[in-house]
Amino acid sequence: MKAQPTASHFIDGAYVEDTAGAVIDVIYPATGAVIARLHEATPALIDRALAAATRAQGQWAATRPVERARILRRAADMIRDRGEELAQLETLDTGKPVQETRVADWPSGADALEYFAGLAPTVTGETIPLGGDFVYTLREPLGVCVGIGAWNYPSQIACWKSAPALAFGNAMVFKPSEVTPLGALKLAEIYIEAGLPAGLFNVVQGRGAVGGALVTDPRVAKVSLTGSVPTGRKVYAAAAEGMRHVTMELGGKSPLIIFDDASLEDAVGAAMMANFYSAGQVCSNGTRVFVQKGIKDAFLSRLKVRAEAMVLGDPLDDATQMGPLVSDVQLAKVMGYIDTAKTEGARLVTGGARAALNTGYFVQPTVFADVTDDMTLAREEVFGPVMAVLDFDTEEEAITRANATEFGLAAGVFTADITRAHRVIGQLQAGTCWINAYNLTPVEAPFGGMKASGVGRENGHAAVQHYTQVKSVYVGMGPVDAPY
**From the annotation, which residues make up the binding site for K(+)?**
27, 93, 451, 454
**Rounded to the nearest whole angstrom, what is the least distance from the CB of residue 78 to ligand NAD in the complex?**
25
Give 220: exposed, middle or buried? Use CB within 10 Å, 0-12, 13-18, 19+: buried
Question: In angstroms, what is the minimal distance from the CB of 26 to ligand NAD?
Answer: 14
Residue type, 154: P
**Beta-carbon contacts of residue 10 (< 8 Å; ≥ 6 apart):** 16, 184, 185, 188, 189, 201, 202, 203
- Rounded Cα gap, residues 116 and 460, in angstroms: 9
The burial of 380, by beta-carbon neighbours within 10 Å (0-12 exposed, 13-18 middle, 19 or more buried), is given as middle
d(CA 327, CA 336): 14
281 versus 415: smaller Cβ distance to ligand NAD:
281
Annotated binding-site members for NAD(+): 149-151, 175-178, 251, 283, 381
Shortest-Cβ-distance residue relative to ligand NAD: 211
Active site residue 159: no
Question: Catalytic residue at 458?
Answer: yes
Indicate the residue among 13 and 251 with the shorter CB distance to ligand NAD.
Answer: 251
Per DSSP bridges, beta strands 171-175 and 201-203 are: parallel
Angle at 113 between CA 146 and CA 447, to 5 degrees: 70
The one catalytic residue in 161, 222, 253, 296 is: 161
Strands ordered across the beta sheet of 220-226: 14-16, 9-11, 201-203, 171-175, 144-148, 220-226, 245-249, 454-455
- Coil, strand or helix: which one is 377? helix
The site for ligand NAD (CB under 6 A) is made up of 148-153, 175, 177-178, 207-208, 211-212, 215, 226-228, 231, 234-235, 249-252, 283, 381, 383, 409, 449, 454
| Min separation Cβ 110 and ligand NAD, Å | 18
Length of the chain: 484
Return the number of the residue (16 or 146) whose C-beta is nearest ligand NAD.
146
* Binding-site entries: 27, 93, 149-151, 175-178, 251, 283, 381, 451, 454
* Annotation says 100 is catalytic: no
Task: Tell me what percent of the chain is helix, strand and coil, each rounded to the nearest 5.
Answer: 40, 20, 35
Q: Which of 90, 253, 283, 296 is catalytic?
A: 283
Q: Which is nearer to ligand NAD, 252 or 255 (CB)?
A: 252
CB of 24 to ligand NAD, least distance (A): 10
Distance (Å, whole) CA 425 – CA 247 = 24
**Is 173 or 267 the residue whose CB approaches ligand NAD more closely?**
173
- State in angstroms the smallest separation of the CB of 425 from ligand NAD: 19
Catalytic-residue membership of 283: yes
Given 40, 90, 249, 395, the catalytic residue: 249
Task: Write down the least CB distance from residue 407 to ligand NAD, Å.
Answer: 9
Catalytic residues: 161, 249, 283, 458
